[in-house]
Amino acid sequence: MMWGLLAAGGYSMFLGIKAKKVRTGTAEQRKALIPGKFAQRHYRWGSLLLAVMVTGMIGGMAVTYINNGKLFVGPHLLVGLVMTGMIAIAAALAPFMQQGNVIARKAHVGLNMGMLTLFLWQAFSGMEIVNKIWVNR
């Protein structure tokens, strides 16, 4: 699931970059890009990513607790919690960005770029955890 979410995050970033080009590009570039509806697609993919990420985080914690009777407080859990907070805050900035707030837009981009960077590490550390589970069973 994490690798799928990482890919979805990368695709959402691609759509966001295209949406920015629609806003900031030349008239010719904008005319060519507008039919792609990149802003709407970015919003939808970002919303889906937020929903699945929050659900996955809660589900992962629940499964860990059910299987072990406790949560393992370590880097993987803590980074996952931070990432979930980052994507939630970035999504909450959307109304301000729609009003043209440049600071909200820059914070949105920064939070999501940081979240995707952490997500890359998270995917690898998650594979290490899965490998430990498989070896110990």
- Contact (CB, 8 A) for 71 and 65: yes
Rg over CA atoms, the chain: 18
From first to last of its 137 residues, what are the pLDDT tens digits of the chain?
889 999 999 999 999 999 999 999 999 999 999 999 999 999 999 999 999 999 999 999 999 999 899 999 999 999 999 999 999 999 999 999 999 999 999 999 999 999 999 999 999 999 998 898 889 87
Phi, psi at residue 6, to the nearest 5°?
-60, -45
Neighbours of 9 (CB within 10 A): 21
Q: Hey, CA dihedral for 39, 41, 44, 50, is it positive or negative? A: negative
pTM of the model: 0.89
For residues 75 and 136, what is the distance between their CA atoms, to the nearest angstrom?
Answer: 20
For residues 77 and 83, what is the distance between their CA atoms, to the nearest angstrom?
Answer: 10
Q: Hey, CA dihedral for 103, 104, 108, 114, is it positive or negative? A: positive
